[in-house]
Structure 1
């Protein structure tokens, strides 16, 4: 059954608002993609080992009747998957739908319900491809809808509140869970199971949601959304970009396999400051001579990867990821390769976005 919070939410439903009051509310569209927020477990104490993506968008909305107090809400089921199965095709479909909706005068903001495993990647892809300053908020849950302590209802409520707020306009794509607001570019999942997993560990979150109001304390200085140069409206696919992971005694097998499979770009999640092992320099040079773009990132997860620091990037014709982790560097490189094959221009993009 659809959990304790559905029953509790319906019992707590507020009286219907007047038509005048409802007309003044912001119009928010909820695009559902699946994930834990739409998941169900064997019983009310199941918080691991549950099944994701089993509950549709209309039931999610019905389970939080308090939404009617803060927005006029409509829902669409874009797809219904666990987010570890997210693909480039899903991203393109989602970005195009978001842009169509945000171009409408009767849509003030978008909420996207999403599995947490790749929420940071989808959010950053949208941050680079949404063509509007209207709020877009990506939200999920760490516990299924059937759990006693389900975090989905309050997360969804906060996300709708945020998406309909003036405070969120022009802030880029936001990730809102656990009463916190984070920038898509900077947030990452940092814990496998706890509800406070999403953090912008070094640069810090943007703000809080408290007492039915968002509070912003900073914002990202990097370009995003309406100021982005990327346009996916005519794209049916993205260039193939893969990630190789740095470790002691690393070998070239994965790199060679990706290049042979047609990779147009490689993100090296190197050790430390994106260091290149001695035995990997030759294979990376070979790949670059074949036209494959190489971006040096780091497995560390924090800090700037210094250009011409641990490797001579000018000599190798490689790009550094700045502060982007490997999975987000992959997204930016895919989009960059839709516009140019120039390593210099792509390096500019990594310092811009």
Structure 2
């Protein structure tokens, strides 16, 4: 194995640190710690780098991912674009908190060009824990970034991947499904794209599935459009929708019950929102499955994305 260094050279993996639990300290367990305390370069200590590769570390943020902002996303996207434009950088690895990792992964999928792997990794336990999972996840993320299969996925439009607990997930399907277990992420109902086994990747299928590659939008200056997620539930009241519209919300994602159904009390309020020019996307609040429109139903407001990723897509749509 080759040691990590700070000199850019051919077959370089650019490591971007965003903080999170993987860089956290202060607890021997999984609670009661402070995220974002260890520099990205120091996270590499003792971790093998794939043979023939070098790693260049950059500390961009040191934050708890629950507090991530549009400004942090803009800075991350700009840093990724700068690295991806370097011909000597073949792949990116980003260390990130778990709480909003699925949102960041989808955002980067939407705004970065396809072609080079971008691998996010994380930890459910801080670096100071007795059984920290961060070192193994970072090792696996580096192995994924250097893998020929990941490069093939990137060329097929699946550039942004998430590696955690020995599994590789795509940005479209990944979600955090458990609050504290180290195997907190899933692609259910589908399987992971690959598994990392002793530093080698075993892909679920020989050839990657090509996905629609979005045309990355230009990233304008902040502030970005205000888009909110509202969840339909028993006892829902129209005043909540009306208050958001009155406050100037610029987009609404409605996470409906079951097959995307919406409480009757919200229907007039959503019509008022449409009349005010507020775009709406509708999806389901259920963890698995997606909205299946009726044969005579207008599907233009329906999305197959889960609510949090739908919010990002609608925000980016409002930018154009």
CA contact (8 A) 1:27 1:164 kept: no
- 1:229 aligned partner: 215
Q: 1:196 to 1:135 in 2, by over 3 A?
A: same
Residue 188 of structure 1: which of 175, 181, 187 is its match? 175
CA contact (8 A) 2:230 2:255 kept: yes
- 2:53 aligned partner: 71
CA contact (8 A) 2:161 2:169 kept: yes
Matches within 5 A, 1:101-250: 101-169=83-151, 170=154, 171-218=158-205, 219-223=208-212, 227-250=213-236
Q: Does 1:328 align with 2:315?
A: no
CA contact (8 A) 2:139 2:199 kept: no
| CA–CA separation in structure 1 for the residues paired with 2:2 and 2:86 | 29
- 1:8 aligned partner: none
Q: 1:121 to 1:15 in 2, by over 3 A?
A: closer
Q: 1:73 to 1:24 in 2, by over 3 A?
A: closer
| CA–CA separation in structure 1 for the residues paired with 2:260 and 2:225 | 23
Deviations 1:55-106 (A, max 9, x none): 11121122x3422646301111111100000111211111121011111111
| CA–CA separation in structure 1 for the residues paired with 2:80 and 2:191 | 27
Q: 1:16 to 1:196 in 2, by over 3 A?
A: closer
CA contact (8 A) 2:15 2:58 kept: yes
Q: CA deviation at 1:272?
A: 0.6
Q: CA deviation at 1:229?
A: 1.5
CA contact (8 A) 2:113 2:216 kept: no
> Residue 254 of structure 1: SS of its match in structure 2?
helix
> Residue 76 of structure 1: SS of its match in structure 2?
strand
CA contact (8 A) 2:178 2:184 kept: yes
| CA–CA separation in structure 2 for the residues paired with 1:155 and 1:252 | 45
TM-score by length of 2: 0.91
Q: 1:15 to 1:30 in 2, by over 3 A?
A: closer
More helix by share: 1
- 1:31 aligned partner: 16
Q: CA deviation at 1:177?
A: 0.4
Deviations 1:235-260 (A, max 9, x none): 43421110111111111233222212
| CA–CA separation in structure 1 for the residues paired with 2:62 and 2:241 | 33
| CA–CA separation in structure 1 for the residues paired with 2:56 and 2:113 | 21
Q: RMSD between aligned alpha carbons?
A: 2.2
| CA–CA separation in structure 2 for the residues paired with 1:308 and 1:92 | 38
| CA–CA separation in structure 2 for the residues paired with 1:264 and 1:68 | 46
> Residue 109 of structure 1: SS of its match in structure 2?
strand
Q: CA deviation at 1:46?
A: 2.3
- 2:73 aligned partner: 91
Q: 1:313 to 1:249 in 2, by over 3 A?
A: farther
- 2:25 aligned partner: 40
The gaps in structure 2 that reach 5 residues or longer are: none
The gaps in structure 1 that reach 5 residues or longer are: 1-13, 340-353
| CA–CA separation in structure 1 for the residues paired with 2:94 and 2:52 | 17
Q: 1:179 to 1:128 in 2, by over 3 A?
A: same
Name whichever of 149-158 and 23-32 sits farther off.
Answer: 23-32
